[in-house]
A and B are shown apart, each in its own frame.
Chain A
Amino acid sequence: MSTFFAILFYFATLVFVVGTLYRISIYTRTPAPLKIPTTPAPITTGGVVLRMMREVFLFESLFKANLWTWGLGWLFHASLALVLMRHLRYFTEPVWAWVASIQPFGMYAGITMVLGVAGLWARRLFVERIRYISTPSDHLMLVLFLVIGLSGLVMRFLVHVDVISVKGFMLGLMYFNLQALPSSIALYVHLSVVAVLLMIFPVSKLLHAPGLFFSPSRNQADNPRDKRHISGWGKQLESK
């Protein structure tokens, strides 16, 4: 089993990193021929950075759209971020001080993350127009997060898992020195679903995370009268 998970994680990480970098390289290469910020938009680059940070950390546009979706979505994402940071203790030796300091918060974040996902799923199931636009994969994605969250909570609160050995396994992966993974159904489920999420990241809607940074309606400064903006293929038309 240890070998299986070792191979799975190497493969999943490879797919995640290479696949996501490939998508990002496509976004970077593709020109934005026209100025299309959704106005009112910041006039300066500094303003654009602030706008982007408000989107990334506060979900500003979603806040304008719908308070329920914003609340549940923000709860889920903030909790997920905390949980991920908490998990850094499995990959660092000695554990970084700030990672150690957030451990208690990370634990509760596991609970709020599950609540957030459950709420978002309820919305997807019970609000008519959201149900209409949902594909099976939209539901599946939430199920995956729910399974990850619940299996994590089970290991934290219900069944004992030897986390020291789990850490040994993870550090072993990082330093190419394979260690045994403790045998636990909950752990196997937890890790398998995480690997699945890593692998579908570059080919699914999870690309919204890098996508936001490349969205022309959000990352362009509103200065078309002051500075001429022209793309490579747009410029070529002028020489014809």
Chain B
Amino acid sequence: MSATITAPAYRVIPIVPVLKPGAMEGSGPYVANDKIQEALGFPGHLVDDWHDQAIAKMGELLGKYRSLAVYMDSCVHCGACSDKCHYFIGTQDPKNMPVARQDLMRSVYRRYFTLPGKIFPKLVGARDLTREVLDEWHNYFHQCSECRRCSVFCPYGIDTAEVTMAAREILDSVGYGQKYSNEIIGKVHKIGNNLGLPAPALRDTLEGLEEDVKEETGIDVRFPVDVKGAEVLLITPSADFFAEPHIDSLIGYAKVFHAAGTSWTLSSFASEAGNFGMFIGNYEQLRLIALRIREVALELGVKRIVVGECGHAWRVAYSFWNTLTGVGDGADPNDQFAMMLQKQLDHRYKQPVHICEFTLDLIEQKAISFDKEANDKHIITFHDSCNVARGSRMGDYPGGQFDIPRNIIKAVANNFYEMNPNTTHERTFCCGGGGGLLTDDLLDVRVKGALPRMEALKQAADEHGVNFMACICAICKTQFSKVMPYYGFDRNTVGGVHQLVSNAIKLGAK
């Protein structure tokens, strides 16, 4: 398969591409088998009365999510979003325009839930839910990374991610799930993390890391696991434990904790920050996966919860943890479930805290210092990860999520340049691998979806000699390592912000 995949050519002038209808018709993901499905309580294969069940599920979701109810009604087909999706730009398939993707579901909504759609389906673009339509959903709702770029530009704030999540939820409920996401959720429940790394292997890995860092720096930087009474519980994506370049950021976090003298611990049970429950739009799964963090926090008695470099995980942690698990502040005093945990946490600090907030705070207090020249071989730019940029915040003012990682980079390195402002901050492009698409069966769409980011990076490389793109997301790191070679970049061009911190931090100084 990969032999036939090539990157689209860079656009000389980044104009809106012409439409190529059907370009990505057969490019959907593998279907989850019965074992994977049933482990999550979904039907093992497409049920006989899928039509009625899917419509019933849609009705249920319309009653449970105001977002879906409002978004199904409000779109006026103005086209504001039509040229904003990286998958549309990279594939030219018109069904990858956000509005057209939403319309895959809106057409069915109109047919079954609105009067004009029941009487004059053709007039209002309403369609029966046929098997072809269901297949189309499976195909195109897995070519959306739920990055929310379209929602920035929509005059009503319609967020295609919400529609995609609802569609995936309906598909799962009739036994037509996606292999990659559902298999990973199964691993989290069974083993504790997305990558299926069991506790003993995790301990071995961390011990190995301690030796490596000792060898390199001569200093005993610890990577503690399951320490009761530690002040900080670090929840980080499991890719940080052994994938490249992720592991370099993990070393960075450990060095920061070491230099600041903070007592911290990882958890072998909750050894995953990622939460694919969000990707499949299933509140129950989202909640169950998040509850593992609550359980460990209570068990270890930690005072602070810090989250490592992972985009959607930070969205879940920042935006949803308080709702789902009580990790946060400001619960009703009678809310026993949340108060149980909130009483334990130290509210002089935000809960949860992003590792970048944690590190920058120490930098500003001058509690840690750096040898910036150690990063001089890097000419750095920063890729805003979509879920951090548009689904969360850092710091105490809107947009802190943009400044804080950049301020860290500027504190630890000398060479920093921005990419084209139409591709950063709230306008950032997804890496192309988010939202449950980081799987080889979707490599074609992943390579094509990376086009707008690769164009911006190419421009920065040509103009400023940029040779390192820092980011704060495990999916971004894996995705770029994989697709950069298709665009002529070395795979080591991508790395973490805390990888740069790790390079420059002075350990003996304190």
Q: Is the CB of B80 within 8 A of A61?
A: yes
The residue in B148, B284, B287, B392 that gathers the most chain A C-beta atoms within 10 A of its C-beta is B392
Shortest CB-to-CB span from A71 to chain B, Å, is 12
* Residue from B66, B82, B152, B401 having most chain A Cβ neighbours under 10 A: B66
Q: A230 — nearest CB in chain B belongs to which residue?
A: B323
Measured between beta carbons, the chain B residues less than 8 angstroms from A23 are: 73
**Candidate in A43, A65, A127 with the most chain B CB atoms within 10 angstroms:** A65
With known contacts A212-B74, A222-B393, A228-B332, A65–B116 Cβ distance under 8 A? no
Cross-chain contact of B80 among A62, A211, A229, A230 (Cβ < 8 A):
A62
**CB contact list, B317-344 vs A, under 8 A:** 318-320, 322-324, 326, 328-332, 335, 337-338
**Residue of A34, A129, A222 touching B16 (CB-CB under 8 A):** A129
Complex Cα–Cα for A125 and B351 (A): 51
Give the most central of A136, A212, A225: most B CB within 10 Å: A225
- In the bound complex, residues from chain A placing their C-beta under 8 Å from that of B115 are 203
Bound complex: CA of A4 vs CA of B366, how far in Å? Answer: 80
Could you tell me the distance in whole angstroms from the C-beta of B325 to the nearest C-beta in chain A?
Answer: 10
Q: Is A182 an interface residue (CB 8 A)?
A: no
B70 contacts which of A27, A130, A137 (Cβ < 8 Å)?
A27
Which of B92-100, B188-196, B442-450 has 4 or more CB atoms under 8 Å from chain A?
B92-100
Given A61-B154, A208-B156 in contact, is the A135-B69 Cβ separation under 8 Å? no
Expressed in whole angstroms, the Cα–Cα distance for A61 and B149 within the complex equals 12
A225/B318 contact (C-beta < 8 A), A31-B66, A38-B390, A215-B157 known = yes
In chain B, residues 258-283, which have Cβ atoms closer than 8 Å to a Cβ of chain A? 283
Encode contact with A along B8-29: 1 for CB under 8 Å, 0 otherwise.
Answer: 0000000010110000000000
| B64 in the interface (beta carbon within 8 A) | yes
- B63 at interface by CB-CB < 8 Å: yes
A208 near B157: Cβ-Cβ < 8 Å: no
Residue from the list A34, A65, A73 in contact with B153, Cβ < 8 A: A65
B398-A133 in contact (CB<8A): no
- Contact of A30 with B328 at beta-carbon distance under 8 Å, contacts A128-B18, A229-B322 already known: no
- Flag if B123 contacts A135 (CB, 8 Å): yes
Residue-wise interface mask of B (382-407) relative to A, using a CB-CB cutoff of 8 A (1 in contact, 0 not): 00000001111100111101100000
Other-chain contact of A123, B79, B125, B151, B284 (Cβ < 8 Å):
B79
Q: From B328, which residue of chain A is reached at the shortest CB distance?
A: A225
Q: CB-defined interface of A118-139 with B at 8 Å, one 1/0 digit per residue?
A: 0000011001111011111110
Contact A69 B80, beta carbon cutoff 8 Å: yes
Whether B159 is near chain A, meaning CB under 8 Å from some CB there, is yes
Residues of B within 8 A of A155 (CB): none
Q: State whether A61 touches B153 (Cβ < 8 A).
A: yes
In the complex, which residues of chain A have a beta carbon less than 8 angstroms from the beta carbon of B116?
137, 200, 203-204
Is the C-beta of A64 less than 8 angstroms from some C-beta in chain B?
yes
Which residue of the partner chain B has the closest CB to A232? B64
CB atoms of B397 and A43 under 8 A apart:
yes
B510 at interface by CB-CB < 8 Å: no
Chain B contacts for A215, CB-based, 8 A: 67, 70-71, 74, 156-158
Q: Does A216 contact B (CB under 8 A)?
A: yes
Q: Contact: B350 with A39, CB < 8 Å?
A: no
Q: Are A129 and B66 in contact (CB-based, < 8 A)? A: no
Interchain CB contact (< 8 A) of A138 among B74, B77, B100: B77
Tell me if B398 and A226 are in contact (CB < 8 A).
no
Docked Cα-Cα span, A92 to B262, in Å, equals 72
Residues of A within 8 A of B477 (CB): none
Most chain B CB atoms below 10 A, which of A34, A42, A69, A212: A34
| Nearest CB of chain A from residue B106's CB, rounded to whole Å | 10
Roughly how many angstroms separate A163 CA and B214 CA in the complex, as a whole number? Answer: 91
A223 (CB) vs chain B CBs: closest residue = B330
- A33–B329 CA distance with the chains assembled, in angstroms: 17
A residues 185-236 with Cβ under 8 Å of B?
A: 200, 203-205, 207-208, 211-212, 214-218, 222, 224-230, 233-234
- Which A residue sits closest to B338, measured CB to CB? A228
What 1/0 flags go to B53-84 for Cβ under 8 Å of A? Answer: 00000000011111101110111111111111
Is A35's CB within 8 Å of the partner chain B?
A: yes
Q: What 0/1 readout, one digit per residue, does chain B (150-172) give for beta carbons within 8 Å of chain A?
A: 01111111110010000000000
Given contacts A35-B319, A40-B398, A230-B323, contact A214 B79 (CB under 8 A): no
> Are B100 and A133 in contact, CB atoms less than 8 angstroms apart?
yes
B321, chain A: closest CB distance, angstroms: 8
> Distance (Å) between the CB of A118 and the closest chain B CB?
16
- Among B64, B74, B162, B392, which residue has its beta carbon within 8 angstroms of that of A208? B74
CB distance from B229 to the nearest CB of A (A): 24
| Smallest CB gap from B94: residue in A | A132
A129: chain B residues at CB < 8 Å are 16, 19, 79, 82-83, 94, 97
* A32: nearest chain-B partner, CB-CB: B66
Distance in Å: Cβ of A12 to nearest Cβ of chain B: 15
Min Cβ gap A84→B in Å is 18
B219 within 8 A of partner (CB): no
Contacts of B155 in A (CB 8 A): 55, 59, 61-62, 65, 73, 208, 212
Q: In the complex where A39-B426, A205-B76 touch, is A137 in contact with B124 (Cβ < 8 A)? A: yes
Question: Chain A residues with Cβ under 8 A from B402's Cβ?
Answer: 40
The reply on B6 being an interface residue by CB < 8 A is: no
Are A237 and B287 in contact, with the CB atoms below 8 A? yes
**Nearest-Cβ distance from residue A230 to partner chain B, whole angstroms:** 5
| Closest partner residue, chain B, to A129 (CB atom) | B82
Query: How many whole Å from A123's CB to the nearest CB in chain B?
Result: 7
Residues of B within 8 A of A135 (CB): 77, 123-125
19 A–B contacts, CB within 8 A, in A order = A36-B159, A36-B391, A38-B159, A41-B393, A55-B155, A61-B153, A127-B79, A130-B82, A135-B124, A137-B124, A204-B116, A208-B73, A208-B74, A215-B71, A218-B157, A224-B319, A224-B328, A226-B330, A228-B328
Given A39-B389, A135-B77, A228-B328, 9 further pairs, Cβ under 8 A: A31-B66, A36-B159, A69-B78, A123-B79, A124-B77, A129-B79, A135-B123, A205-B77, A211-B70
4 shortest A-B CB distances, which residue pairs? A211-B74, A135-B125, A65-B153, A65-B80
